[in-house]
Amino acid sequence: MSRDRYLVTGGAGFIGSNLAESLLRDGHDVRVIDDLSTGRRENLAEVDAWAAEGGGSFELHEADIRDAAACAAAMEGVTYVLHEAAIPSVQRSVRDPWTTNGVNVNGSLQLLTAARDAGVQRFVFASSSSIYGESPKLPKVETMESDPISPYGLQKLAAESYCRMFYRLYQLPTVCLRYFNVFGPRQDPGSEYSAVIPRFITSIRDGRTPVVYGDGGQTRDFTFVQNVVDANRLACQADECAFGKKFNIACGERISLLDLIEKIGKHYGVDVKPQHAAAREGDIRHSEAGIDRAAEVLGYRPKIDLDEGLRRTAAAS
């Protein structure tokens, strides 16, 4: 009897490598497609180790998701697709909407087409809270109108629409997960596009002053990566009522960047005064997720809160 095989797109990246490791730990067969433009081969070291220990099999396809032949080859024999590949930066999308659209929209469409043709059982798409835009209503819920204020948010919305259409038109079972500010081990702190938590942790740990864009009063619903891994795996097992739908994946709580810095500083036993820089284009002011729909339909519950997530992230840094 053949075993289920998972395809993790962008599997050498931060979230993708955590997904691949979780699946390998549980003995599943995993294939990764990644062009290594933002992902890193070293992120897969633990994946290689678990495969060598005799868990599931592991393959890496070094290829671009915009390549039709590469997508078709990666899709062979696949049961579940976890689509994490993207250029995941609001700021980069503002600077370069053309390139980011090519990967985030055209690449997603290429994968959906290959998944349809291969007859996969589930296509889980990594979407984003940036779809909601600047609506002052909190918490953000899936029934709200979408109003993205960056090309990145618009690109994720377009890919979501393709997922919904592929379910309705071709009966490809798709599920969209709207991530809220994911953080955790393997998140790169070195890029100018890096998320705030790895940058703050690295700066405070090394005795440097962390930089806050804007006044620091903006709030975010930070979500530890293991919660996202759990949500993806639940989406693969959800029944038909989840197909063609979108779900917020977060903790349902928000914290300001200034309070976050204070919290990280206490972990290291220091009093931190950040440096402020100009606010960045495309950044929203406040974000907090309503997660009732994910709880009801997927059975999702965040198991790791912000404090525990920060502790694990700092320990791995």
SS3 content of the chain, % helix, strand, coil (to 5): 45, 15, 40
Report the mean per-residue pLDDT for the chain. 94
pLDDT at 1: 37
The secondary structure of 44-103 as a DSSP string is: GHHHHHHHHTTSS-EEEE---TT-HHHHHHHHTT-SEEEE--S---HHHHHH-HHHHHII
Residue 188 backbone class (left: φ over 0; alpha: ψ -120 to 50; beta: rest): beta
- The answer to whether the CB of 72 falls within 8 A of the CB of 84 is no
Domain boundary assignment for the chain: 5-183+223-252+288-303
pTM of the model: 0.94
CATH architecture, range 5-183+223-252+288-303: 3-Layer(aba) Sandwich (3.40)
Q: Which pLDDT tens digit goes with each residue over 32-88?
A: 999 999 899 999 988 888 777 766 799 999 999 999 999 999 999 999 999 999 998
Active site residues: 152
Q: Which pLDDT tens digit goes with each residue over 159-172?
A: 999 999 999 999 99
Q: Which single residue is written with the structure tokens 């530890």?
A: 224
Q: Which pLDDT tens digit goes with each residue over 228-280?
A: 999 999 999 999 999 999 999 999 999 999 999 999 999 999 999 999 999 88
